[in-house]
Structure 1
Amino acid sequence: MTTAFTVRDVPDDIARTIKIRAAEAGQSIQGYLLGLIMREASKPSLAEMAARAERYASDQVTHDDVLAALDEGRSGR
């Protein structure tokens, strides 16, 4: 299922820039904006990155775990 978005009150200079960039990319405005939206949605937000960092920071990692990871990385060379 797909969803349609409508953006109202786009300033003229921004709309002109989007039209130019879409044309330079050889895309329709819709295709160009869809690409922008997809790229943006595929990146984690700052809140998601902070939550991920918090999870990693709270993991209990021992000295032996670090040494084992280093040995494993070196053996893959």
Structure 2
Amino acid sequence: MPKVIHIRDVPDDVHYALTEAAKEEGLSLTRYMQRELDGLASRRRIVQENAGTIRRTQAAVDSKVERNTILSVLHEGRGD
């Protein structure tokens, strides 16, 4: 079931910028924010997955492989 989020004390300039961005994309502010929040949640999941991959890789090679090396290989595998 969908949840409701209320955000208080949003500065005027931030509200204006978000409203304008939504208008430019032909979306309501609510729909725009839903999309942006979904993007934030997706990025968080990716960060968690990457952290797990780093831990598993380091454990599998029984060494401290550099985080950037592992992330580079992940990005190459994804075609990024």
Give the TM-score taking structure 2 as reference length. 0.66
CA distance in structure 1 between the aligned counterparts of 2:60 and 2:51, rounded to whole angstroms? 14
Shift of 1:37: 0.4
Between 1 and 2, higher relative CO (CA 8 Å, sep ≥ 6) is seen in 2
What do the CA deviations read for 1:41-61 (whole angstroms, capped 9, x no partner)?
012368623233111221249
2:55 is aligned to 54
Please report the RMSD computed on the Cα atoms of aligned residues, expressed in angstroms.
2.2
1:26 and 2:26 are equivalent in the alignment: yes
Answer with 51-60 or 8-17: which moved more.
Answer: 51-60
| 1:38-49 correspondence runs (5 A) | 38-44=38-44, 48=48, 49=50
The number of residue pairs the alignment matches comes to 61
Q: Secondary structure in 1 aligned to 2:4?
A: coil
Larger C-alpha radius of gyration, 1 or 2? 1
Q: Which runs of 5+ in 1 are unaligned?
A: 62-77
Answer with 24-33 or 51-60: which moved more.
Answer: 51-60
CA distance in structure 1 between the aligned counterparts of 2:59 and 2:17, rounded to whole angstroms? 45
2:72 is aligned to none
Q: Which runs of 5+ in 2 are unaligned?
A: 63-80
Give the TM-score taking structure 1 as reference length. 0.68
